[in-house]
Amino acid sequence: MSLTHLDPEGRPVMVDVSAKTATKRRAVAAGYLALSPECAEALASGGGPKGDPWTVARIGAIGGAKRTGDLIPLAHPLALDAVTVAQHWDPELRRAWLRVEVVLEGRTGVEMEALTGVSLGLLVLYDMLKAVNHRMELGPVRLLLKEGGRRGRIQEPWPDCPWQE
């Protein structure tokens, strides 16, 4: 199988999607930030010195999904129809979970937008809690579902994830 982002000489290119038919496309990704006991306590009590971490992380996740074309060099800038963010706190494992769903009608998929949204949202959560301490671990972040386009539906189960598609 050849890589689509390389020309015949092996140079990077942005894939030409102009001949593709626009279809409804949807992608869902999730991931978590593992917290130290002190950060977990701050999150569970509504925040740390910087305020409410969940609200800012949700806004960051939406912004990350919207700016994916600016952040990933060969990604197409996409006009997204919807970005939905969900959060989940697992106090037993001290994991702060984010789920990002992205939808559009277009010629190329939105899995990079969903993955970028989760990643940036979790980085924002880290930033909001680092005033407590830096003992946090980012990830993993995974694609749970991709629908639409040439490949149709792709679903990746993740038993530990609080959301199953």
Please state, in angstroms and rounded to a whole number, the distance separating the CA atoms of residues 139 and 57.
15
Please state, in angstroms and rounded to a whole number, the distance separating the CA atoms of residues 136 and 55.
19
- What is each CA distance from 140 to 47, 77, 83, 115, in whole angstroms? 23, 25, 20, 11
Strands of the 95-106 sheet, one edge to the other: 82-90, 95-106, 23-35, 136-147, 154-155
Residue type, 53: P
List 6's β-bridge partners, or say none.
12
- Give the contacts of 138 (CB within 8 A, at least 6 positions apart): 31, 33, 119, 122, 123, 126
Closest listed residue to residue 113, CA positions, set 74, 83, 152: 83
The catalytic residues are 127
